Amino acid sequence: MRASVQVPPGGSFEQACHTGASGARAYRTYIPASAQDGAAGLIVMLHGCTQTPEDFAIGTGMNTHAEQHRLIVLYPEQSRGANAQTCWNWFSKGDQGRGRGEPEIIAGLTSRAMKQHSIAPAQTFVAGLSAGAAMAVILGYAYPDIFAAVGAHSGLPLGAALDVPSAFSAMAGQTSSCATPPGHAPRTIILHGDRDKTVHPLNGAAIARMAETSAQGTTSQCTRSGEAGGRCYRRALTMDQAGQTLSEHWVIQGLGHAWSGGQPGGSYTDPSGPDASAEMIRFFLETSQKDEPT
């Protein structure tokens, strides 16, 4: 039975299906009451294995944050026909590039929503957890004309695997293989727990390293430490010459394979630590490295 997502008066949580050249997927759309006169942006949220859009919406609390910022949220749903555990197939060679497979489907439903709600690419973002985070990274590189920034929580880098065996090796941190980025890195925020036993923290570091090395122009770096929600964290930033933050890499102490600062009622969440949803939105919307975490 599907979890019930609470929707405030004036808001809606709609269901639809998109069919593209590579297949079809169902998805849910959260339209906040605050966006009745126009939305400020759009976030695509990709769930992890065994999760549903409803479960992911509840656990991340993203709809509550979206209400505050006038953001529409899309929750694509992986089908059991495509993956028995409802994992996005980030490890499949046919699902790792532009114009084919699951990236083509997700990009297509995103473009459809952008047109429907008059949202520009500069205000369109993609984020995910675990397998969803790995697919979000793929989409950021494959569709820079659609997605302005990426949020990867407990995910893996582009090209970390090409089949199921290499996927498990990558998840265990036993391989350092990555793809050559097809272009400049998207702005990326990475969050990973240092006690993640499902996807080794080395993968979060690899996402950050790829974002840093494929950034355009001269960059500078700094590291900051802090505490939020009862957990300490280390946050490494890479900035361009204008001071724009190109990437943030959060390592959260004591966090396992779960959405940091998540909400009870959703799977793979931990209420302790920085609020990952709030930090992703801050990063997506900020224009200067002077902006501090919420």
Q: Encode pLDDT of 166-205 as tens digits.
A: 999 999 998 756 777 777 889 999 999 999 999 999 999 9
Write the CA distances from 156 to 58, 138, 190, 283, 289, integer angstroms. 23, 10, 10, 19, 25
Cβ(136)–Cβ(154) below 8 Å: no
Per-residue exposure over 175-212, b if at least 16 CB sit within 10 Å of its own CB, e if not:
beebeebeeebbbbbbbbbbebeebbbbbbbbbbbbbb
Task: Summarize pLDDT for 226-262 with one digit per residue, the tens.
Answer: 999 999 999 999 988 888 889 999 999 999 999 999 9
pLDDT of residue 291: 42
Task: Summarize pLDDT for 79-103 with one digit per residue, the tens.
Answer: 999 999 999 999 999 999 999 999 9
Domain boundaries, the chain: 12-285
| Top CATH class, 12-285 | alpha beta
This prediction has a pTM of 0.93
